[in-house]
Amino acid sequence: MSKTFTAQLKDIRDLTVEGMEYVMRQSISDVLVGAQTTQIGITQGATSFVEGAIPVGLTAELVNSLTVDGAEGADSYVVKIADMEIGDTMSFAWVAPYAHRIEAGFTGTDELGRTYNVPGRHFVGKNAAKFSDHVEARSAEVRR
């Protein structure tokens, strides 16, 4: 038996909501996966770096300091994103004491008298700036 017109419209609406949720979840995940992409830190012998990747030292403190709505850990965003619905919000931050210095860079002398001239790695900003591109790419997947 074929579906009624109303039932067909409901199916289309549900597919549209599912598609929007897919685009939302995947695009947010794409940003956080990018921001959590690691590279060897200077303390590990790196002589250069790629902007947009997070440096990792001996303890991996920075990458593991990600918090998402109170949950902590490098992949704390995975469960939160899976439970998100259209209209939900998510707050995330890297809470290592030096996270902002790594993101934005630091030139100057710290409270211990050490002098630094460290350019920012922009692991948050570079990846957040790609959000619209991720939305466009994920939307194209849904339209296929």
pLDDT in tens, 104-141: 999 999 899 999 888 999 999 999 999 999 999 999 99
The widest CA-to-CA distance across the chain, in whole angstroms, is 79
Question: CB under 8 Å to 84, separation ≥6 — which residues?
Answer: 21, 24, 25, 28, 90
pTM, full prediction: 0.85
pLDDT of residue 7: 80
| Phi, psi dihedral angles at 48 (to 5 degrees) | -150, 175
Say if CB 105 and CB 119 are below 8 A apart.
yes
How many Å apart are CA 20 and CA 142, to the nearest integer? Answer: 9
Average pLDDT, the chain: 91
The number of C-alpha atoms within 13 Å of 24 and in the hemisphere containing its C-beta is 17
